[in-house]
Structure 1
């Protein structure tokens, strides 16, 4: 999944001095939306996570953050009261207003107690998470009920269980809590979609670890069925083994992506990831062109999205979609749900300067398709030559806002709104296809997927 560092961070970061930051930036800043406060002094920046009366300071990835900050992506108004930040390759801007002083709540570090962790958890999901109504959840009622279970002597396991119960009604594909308890990593995600949930339940019934259940599905699909059954051993694998492509039936191009991003390596800079994406897409487009491809299937049905600490891989999704565009188009509109003054960002696609395919395209999705993959779906659907088929996506297109509790547990939540060109908001319910088709049948999901691809290839 893609995670968005807000005002260049989601958590709090103390970074090395940045020489070219203007002295006029010194002072205290509050982002419009995203719940982040920043303290800037002579190129040194410290970030705080803010939600109501809660404000938490925390150390973070200084090197990754400092790579994002320079004078070129900051715009300060003449009166020095407002600054806008543009993340690398992004069209979306984040706005912050100057504060006269650091808020009182940010001047005292929260204690690591069950009560303090509960207060932070409840506040983050109250003030930073905007989708309670979509899921029919009365968050204040849930908090009131859960508060009665909080005791100063309760164990980490008991506290984590309370948080799980609070999160469970929020069937959101971008909501999860990770913790380190008794030397083990623990994670809870309240919603994985029907397909993955079914696989996990089957694994639980058999006493098999969940990770093993996913591998038992994805392994045969990605490493056996796609290269051998669908592409008949004639396909190509690129992008850090996350992309497969080839030609079916002589004139149908097939492009399968397991993620959106990571095509260079984990931890790659935005420049490196963009360069890798452009090089790979140029290779694929040229191959389709020289192979006489007249129709393309973009298979995102088993795409788990993309994530990094540089603002997410939305720019990768745009770069891919622009290879299928013949003219500039508006793709979608995005904004922070809790922003009050910032303008909404209209995200546009501009046809790539490289080799493009402008013929008919089918994009295939399922309820596994999530996060940056859904941003790619929104972008492709804006093109007149693209038809969306399969099943609805998982419904978690928003960038992820990360919040760290006083005990170090990490809460991921969605707080942005993505609206398509028809004004439709798909968060929490999934992007519905133009033509619904079953992708992963329960009895034999991998075989059903291959049969569907073959069927589509013969219908172009």
Structure 2
């Protein structure tokens, strides 16, 4: 009797489980019909400034890297737009027959224009020769890179490095050849990612390259430098979960914030800017009574512009225009987009702030620096930043390698351009290797002294 009852209970449980699974499947199918691209969104769309094509149908979405030499499928994902929004923070909408792509992490949207059909080269995946790979790289840079003149590089002359059409090169030889073509572009956003290695022609500051201080990727050394800074603070730091932020309120009333990167482990379905702003409440509450605040961005390589805005939103009480940006469009530029910082709430941190920067302060950390420079209570101290401000336009090369390049021009609200040269500090401070290699931190000590004055 008991065994029979147990078998019946198990059968009932399995039936209930199958009902639940079936309901979930039906709900997902129904949601797919609700959130698949509508008739207005379906079709092929080309970015108005070039570089990419998006195709949308009822089941699938594809992103292609395109230039006048090649078209390569870059990404394929299900056309369940709500799932894409939750998982990747990307949304599409159609406004006046223009497809607007908004991606979490970027401050502005990318507009696409409808095209009649996907170009034929995008539908053919022939084996790529070394010449094909080089030509696709050279053309992508030629049509979209914005700063050849700033770096003094004659890109037309680099065309002569192209291998013969019938040349047979292995991956290492192609990698080295592309690296040779990119040399001289001191730009951390010019990147070549491959299964055999990563390359960027960016140059580290002199003080960072001295043995035994330097490793090519730099990340272990950045960690060592950060530890030296924390030792100099002399007070245990509290980390903020999911971020690169640590902070402390020193006994003398100085608040210290170390931001190692502008990344955020954004929860599923959340957006990075409001999520970062919410996470930063922990810091703002802890330092609300500080006499002054030091924000250390010296070894921060960047991350998301939206994360930077999430942090900066705690230091303003009204909307603040902080910079403009344009995108290369053929031989010209698009109309400027003005980035406006919105306050998190009506009770911002208003104490005097010292922001520390160095030549290792890059990308989204420079975006944060630009935002801080527009605030009257902020003083920037240290070295000029790395000078890599543009977002990265990514291309898939015909052999599957990834090329990144700078295609956008950021300017401060007074019109200054700091690409390639870096954002200058208000208070210059020369960073030298010997004291850093001894575990000392003269710049931070100078900042602490200034914060006490």
TM-score using structure 2 length:
0.83
> How far 1:73 moved relative to its partner?
4.4
CA deviations on 1:270-325 (whole Å, 9 max, x unpaired) are: 71644652343111111112xx312111110011111xxxxxx2111111111111
Pair 62,298 (structure 1): closer, same or farther in 2 beyond 3 Å = farther
Unpaired segments ≥5 residues, structure 2: 1-31
2:189 is paired with a residue whose SS is coil
Give the RMSD, CA atoms, in angstroms: 3.0
Match of 2:314 in 1: 323
1:95 is paired with a residue whose SS is strand
Matched, 1:349 2:341: yes
Structure-to-structure mapping, 1:112-127, within 5 angstroms: 112-127=128-143
Pair 454,63 (structure 1): closer, same or farther in 2 beyond 3 Å = farther
2:276 is paired with a residue whose SS is helix
Match of 1:49 in 2: 65
More contact order relative to length (CA 8 Å, sep ≥ 6): 1
Alignment size in residue pairs: 417
Matched, 1:95 2:101: no
> How far 1:357 moved relative to its partner?
0.6
Within the candidate set 279, 300, 304, 1:303 is matched to 300
> Are 2:50 and 2:67, in contact at CA under 8 Å, matched by a contact in 1?
no
Aligned partners of 1:341 and 1:98: how far apart in 2? 21
Pair 18,55 (structure 1): closer, same or farther in 2 beyond 3 Å = farther
Aligned partners of 2:203 and 2:48: how far apart in 1? 30
Match of 1:259 in 2: 261
Match of 2:94 in 1: 76
> Are 2:207 and 2:433, in contact at CA under 8 Å, matched by a contact in 1?
no
Within the candidate set 360, 366, 377, 2:369 is matched to 377
Aligned partners of 1:25 and 1:322: how far apart in 2? 34
Matched, 1:432 2:424: yes
> How far 1:87 moved relative to its partner?
2.9
Unpaired segments ≥5 residues, structure 1: 1-15, 307-312
Match of 2:284 in 1: 285
CA deviations on 1:333-389 (whole Å, 9 max, x unpaired) are: 122222779543211112211752112111110000001101111111111211111
1:367 is paired with a residue whose SS is coil
Pair 384,446 (structure 1): closer, same or farther in 2 beyond 3 Å = farther
> How far 1:412 moved relative to its partner?
1.4
Structure-to-structure mapping, 1:269-284, within 5 angstroms: 269=268, 271=270, 273-274=272-273, 276-284=275-283
Aligned partners of 1:18 and 1:149: how far apart in 2? 52
Aligned partners of 1:405 and 1:67: how far apart in 2? 25
1:396 is paired with a residue whose SS is coil
Aligned partners of 1:337 and 1:296: how far apart in 2? 38
